[in-house]
Amino acid sequence: MSEAHFPPAHPFDDDKLKEECGIFGVVGVTDAANFVALGLHALQHRGQEAGGIVSYAPEHGFNSARRFGYVRDNFTKQSLMETLPGQLSIGHVRYSTAGSKGQTAIRDVQPFFGEFSMGGAAIAHNGNITNADALRKELIERGSIFQSSSDSECIIHLMARSLQRDIPSRMEDALRRVEGAFSVVAMTRTKLIGVRDPLGVRPLVLGKVGDSGWALSSETCALDIIGADFVREIEPGEMVVITAEGGVESSHPFRPTKSRFCIFEHVYFSRPDSIIGGRSVYETRRQIGVELARETPVEADLVCPVPDSGTPAAIGYAHESGIPYGMGIIRNQYMGRTFIEPTEQIRNMGVRLKLNVNRALIQGKRVVLVDDSVVRGTTSRKIKEMILDAGAAEVHFRIASPPTSWPCFYGVDTPQREKLLAATMSEDEMRDHLGVDSLKFISLDGLYRAVGEAGGRDAKSPQYCDACFSGEYPVKPADMIEKGFKLKAAE
């Protein structure tokens, strides 16, 4: 599928924060690429723009396929999957990085492959390298020739320049030069490799497939789809090297530090049927709704989720508040991306292509709308208009995350700060801008309580990365500071 034919994202999705990718790998199973395709399908929510798979078989060597579009539209074709034989394979689904919408080339689609003196290796990366510009400049000045615009390619070039004698050691060398957030799945001719950065910002889990197979995945839901047993999370700063014969070898090549897992994984990015830190994502989101109801009560007749991401929090809010829960907004599950050319007339239909109001339920009611976040606010305004058009007496927004007022530089596609509604307006100003009767967000302490931190957020040593809410970045975004971005302390 050429880039010219890749359909544009729907306006509804453009007002959501996007996790930029999902990664998956297996070793020790027949037709490993088929397992990877299934895993990537389960991780499609983490990246819907493009996907790629690399496999290895001794008699065929390394083979790869990279395509724009959904996994189901590409990697379910027998003719393609037959070109990816072997018992070892990794894959990747992605969104493009901030600022590059519509400019993605097939060369930017991972996994990336490199041929070294000791053999080939492929790598797939979830996260963002915050010193990639400086590394790229240094590598180019020393003779490296880049094939993509992706920050992830820096890892391959750093590995090529390492003097270590085996590929896992070269990867350690390379990742010690990298700043930011990274979960990596890589493969050689015999090994499946997984690594998390010392802060553990992005997720990575280990699963067991049958008697001798192993899997690495961004989330546990992708282990479920291939019938793998969840073993454990890869620890922050851990590297695992896995073979079908020898099993899992673990090491910790980075200097130990306090972990800072991305708290927005709990709020929105991860699928509700995944497990994070031993906790059900669904149950955490339901608990966010409970905390939200305790912090922001309101007199109303109906609690409605903004589907689908607001549903668990709305259930929790309704249960705690005693206000009846109802599906006041129905999502068209078969819409996907815009199915016709987005003419001006179609654009003006806005979210109605994906969402429709259950008029009989809404009419005359004071409605609490529960959503996961407010980013630009454009979708929230359109949903409010739809609810009022259906005859609602009042509209109250309750948001299952604190105000998103800072961009993420660790692998989430976030608008520039001035385009974030919460960065330029107070809560009251946002309420007036959206035109609703009330607007309230869960507090940062309330969010921490919902994810299991009974005492709330430790202000001196936060337990999670919450930079998008607090402006406190656990790793300074060196490249962005070089470009003029001002940290909170410098404002």
Backbone phi, psi, residue 227, to 5°: 75, 25
Catalytic residue ranges = 21
Mean pLDDT value across residues 68-89: 96
User: What residue spans define the domains of the chain?
Assistant: 3-262, 284-454
The angle at the Cα of 258, spanning 255 to 263, to the nearest 5 degrees, equals: 130
Task: Compute the residue count for the chain.
Answer: 491
- Reduced to 3 states (helix: H, G, I; strand: E, B; else coil), residue 484 is coil
User: What pLDDT is stored for residue 171 in this prediction?
Assistant: 96
Mean pLDDT value across residues 409-423: 88
Query: Token pair of 236, please?
Result: 């922050």
Contact 332, 355 (CB under 8 A): yes
Residue of 154, 210, 213, 204 whose CA lies nearest to 184:
204
- Residue 91 CA, chain-centre distance (Å), reads 15
The angle that helices 153-161 and 167-176 make with each other, rounded to 10 degrees, is 110
Contact 27, 87 (CB under 8 A): yes
- Residue 390 CA, chain-centre distance (Å), reads 34
For residues 347 and 277, which has the higher predicted lDDT (pLDDT)?
Answer: 277
Cα 178 from Cα 181, distance rounded (Å): 9
Q: What would the CATH number be for the domain defined by 284-454?
A: 3.40.50.2020
**What pLDDT digit, counting tens, does each position of 357-395 carry?**
999 999 999 999 999 999 988 889 999 999 999 999 999
Amino acid at 395: V
For residues 346 and 229, which has the higher predicted lDDT (pLDDT)?
Answer: 229
Cα 8 from Cα 350, distance rounded (Å): 14
Cα 4 from Cα 341, distance rounded (Å): 13
- Reduced to 3 states (helix: H, G, I; strand: E, B; else coil), residue 25 is strand
Predicted confidence band of residue 354 (pLDDT cuts 50, 70, 90) = confident
Contact 304, 368 (CB under 8 A): yes
Mean pLDDT value across residues 476-484: 93
Cα 359 from Cα 259, distance rounded (Å): 47
The dihedral over CA atoms of 95, 101, 102, 108, expressed in degrees to the nearest 10, equals -50
Predicted confidence band of residue 415 (pLDDT cuts 50, 70, 90) = confident
Cα 311 from Cα 285, distance rounded (Å): 9
Residue of 293, 286, 292, 125 whose CA lies nearest to 194:
125
Residue the block writes with tokens 């690429």: 33
Task: Give the number of other CB atoms < 10 A from CB of residue 246.
Answer: 10
Mean of the per-residue pLDDT values for the chain? 90
- How would you classify the pairing of strands 438-441 and 394-399? parallel
Predicted confidence band of residue 414 (pLDDT cuts 50, 70, 90) = confident
User: What pLDDT is stored for residue 411 in this prediction?
Assistant: 86
Predicted confidence band of residue 355 (pLDDT cuts 50, 70, 90) = confident
Predicted confidence band of residue 154 (pLDDT cuts 50, 70, 90) = very high
* E strands present in 197-288: 205-209, 213-217, 229-233, 239-243, 247-251, 261-262, 275-276, 279-280
Contact 171, 201 (CB under 8 A): no
* E strands present in 130-264: 180-187, 192-196, 205-209, 213-217, 229-233, 239-243, 247-251, 261-262
- How would you classify the pairing of strands 329-331 and 355-357? antiparallel
Cis check for the bond before 111: say yes or no (omega within 30 of 0). yes
- Reduced to 3 states (helix: H, G, I; strand: E, B; else coil), residue 312 is helix
Query: Token pair of 366, please?
Result: 């004071």
The angle that helices 132-141 and 153-161 make with each other, rounded to 10 degrees, is 40
pTM: 0.91
Backbone phi, psi, residue 169, to 5°: -70, -35
Cα 364 from Cα 376, distance rounded (Å): 28
Protein fold of 3-262:
Glutamine Phosphoribosylpyrophosphate, subunit 1, domain 1 (3.60.20)
Mean pLDDT value across residues 307-311: 89
- In order, the DSSP letters of 67-120 are EES-HHHHTT-HHHHTTS-SSEEEEEEE-PPTT-TT---GGGSSPEEEEETTEE
pLDDT of residue 25 exceeding 50, the answer is yes
Query: Token pair of 232, please?
Result: 């454990």
Cα 45 from Cα 92, distance rounded (Å): 12
pLDDT of residue 8 exceeding 60, the answer is no
Mean pLDDT value across residues 119-131: 96
What's the half-sphere exposure (Cβ side, CA atoms, 13 Å) at 142?
11
User: What pLDDT is stored for residue 337 in this prediction?
Assistant: 46
What's the half-sphere exposure (Cβ side, CA atoms, 13 Å) at 216?
34
- Residue 377 CA, chain-centre distance (Å), reads 20
pLDDT of residue 65 exceeding 70, the answer is yes
